[in-house]
Amino acid sequence: QTGAGNNWAKGHYTEGAELVDSVLDVVRKECEHCDCLQGFQLTHSLGGGTGSGMGTLLISKIREEYPDRIMNTFSVMPSPKVSDTVVEPYNATLSVHQLVENTDETYCIDNEALYDICFRTLKLTTPTYGDLNHLVSATMSGVTTSLRFPGQLNADLRKLLSTWCPSLACTSSCRDSPPSQPAAASSTAALTVPELTQQMFYAKNMMAACDPRHGRYLTVATVFRGPMSMKEVDEQMLAIQNKNTATSWRDPQQCEGGRMASTFIGNSTAIQELFQANLPSSSPMFRRKAFLHWFTGEGMDEMEFTEAESNMNDLVSEYQQYQEATANDGKRHLRMMRRKSMSETN
């Protein structure tokens, strides 16, 4: 099987459409075995044709059939710096358009950030796809820990959904012993809770290539796992809250079992950098209408590109509005604090 040939239209309209019914049959059979179906979780890439085109087609079909169930995706975004396909911006833009319409929670991960973690943090000279996939699986494991293990503040898919304001979220994962790190490079000393908490907020540990220092957090959730007390976690998170501004801080979750590890999930306005990097209009290729015939030849209309790009711009604008609103709130808060301190002095 050759897939969709890095063509979103092939995966969504032609070759993918021929296969989607048989895939849905498998999904139905799995759902019939569930006593209490919460939702669906899909892992896919947005740079190629199959994960983006057929992936979003499958999501829309599942949404039609199970409209009241949570749709959760871990979506790997392409990056201009780590690109092996010239039409990746087209595929990503068309996919994000579908994700905004049909998903409840989307965790954005991108290849550039994954490679940076392998090179700079894990000191791997030639990271393989297995190494990258281990990082993604570690993040997925951390995000879903509270669904699978007992804890004091466990959350299901619907509670996680209530955490996010806009629909897409930037994610990162920080573990005391990264799964793709060679045994020879692993530290023999386990990280403490303060060290884990600090590393969660490092920009270099983010699974999306956007610097959170360039934006503001709308919501933040943390999941701790392993032998630690809730008191330790609460103390560290209180210190972080005093340093950082966020619209909403969710109670940290601490789950039992396994080695000490932590996962940070943040919805930051800085994620707009990732979307802007994949906007086709930022590329001379789109202005010259290069390679568009690959897509229109599969039955697509050029207006679909315009609509998808408009929706991507709307998403960027929405995050920008949140950023400006929270910045103004922060300024008002500072003015109020200054007035309060002056009145106390007088």
Domain ranges of the chain: 8-180+191-345
pLDDT, position 206: 86
Give tens-digit pLDDT for 7-24.
999 999 999 999 999 999
C-alpha span between 248 and 245 (Å, rounded): 9
pLDDT, position 201: 80
Q: C-alpha dihedral over 113, 114, 116, 121, to 10 degrees? A: 120
pLDDT, position 75: 93
Task: Specify the DSSP element, H or E, that contains 246.
Answer: strand 246-249
Helices (H), the chain: 8-9, 15-32, 55-65, 88-102, 111-116, 129-143, 145-148, 157-163, 193-200, 230-243, 272-277, 284-287, 292-296, 302-345
Q: Quick one: average pLDDT of 155-180?
A: 57
Q: Quick one: average pLDDT of 297-319?
A: 88
Phi, psi dihedral angles at 227 (to 5 degrees): -80, 90
Share of the chain above pLDDT 70, in %: 77
pLDDT, position 336: 46
Q: Model-level pTM?
A: 0.82
Phi, psi dihedral angles at 215 (to 5 degrees): -140, -165
- Evaluate whether 279 touches 313 at the Cβ level (below 8 Å): yes
pLDDT of 177 over the 70 cut: no
Q: Quick one: average pLDDT of 288-292?
A: 85
- Cβ-in-10-Å burial (0-12, 13-18, 19+) of 255 comes to buried
C-alpha span between 219 and 211 (Å, rounded): 16
- From residue 299, how far is each of 58, 285, 291, 302, 303 by CA, in Å? 18, 21, 14, 10, 12
More confident residue, 57 or 104: 57
Q: Quick one: which of 174, 114, 187 has its CA closest to 138?
A: 174
More confident residue, 152 or 65: 65
Q: How many CB atoms lie within 10 A of CB 288?
A: 9
pLDDT, position 11: 92
pLDDT of 332 over the 70 cut: no
Phi, psi dihedral angles at 169 (to 5 degrees): -130, 145
pLDDT, position 305: 86
Please list the residues that pair with 175 across neighbouring strands: 261
- From residue 235, how far is each of 33, 174, 201 by CA, in Å? 42, 19, 16
C-alpha span between 314 and 220 (Å, rounded): 23
pLDDT of 228 over the 60 cut: yes
Q: Quick one: average pLDDT of 133-162?
A: 79
pLDDT, position 252: 55
C-alpha span between 110 and 316 (Å, rounded): 17
C-alpha span between 219 and 268 (Å, rounded): 7
pLDDT of 306 over the 80 cut: yes
Question: How would residue 151 be classed by pLDDT, with cut points 50, 70 and 90?
Answer: low
Please list the residues that pair with 217 across neighbouring strands: 246, 268
pLDDT, position 175: 43
294: helix, coil or strand? helix
Average pLDDT over all residues of the chain: 79
CATH of 8-180+191-345, one of 3.40.50.1440, 3.30.70.3460, 3.40.50.2000, 3.40.50.460: 3.40.50.1440
Q: Quick one: which of 219, 195, 133, 205 has its CA closest to 173?
A: 205
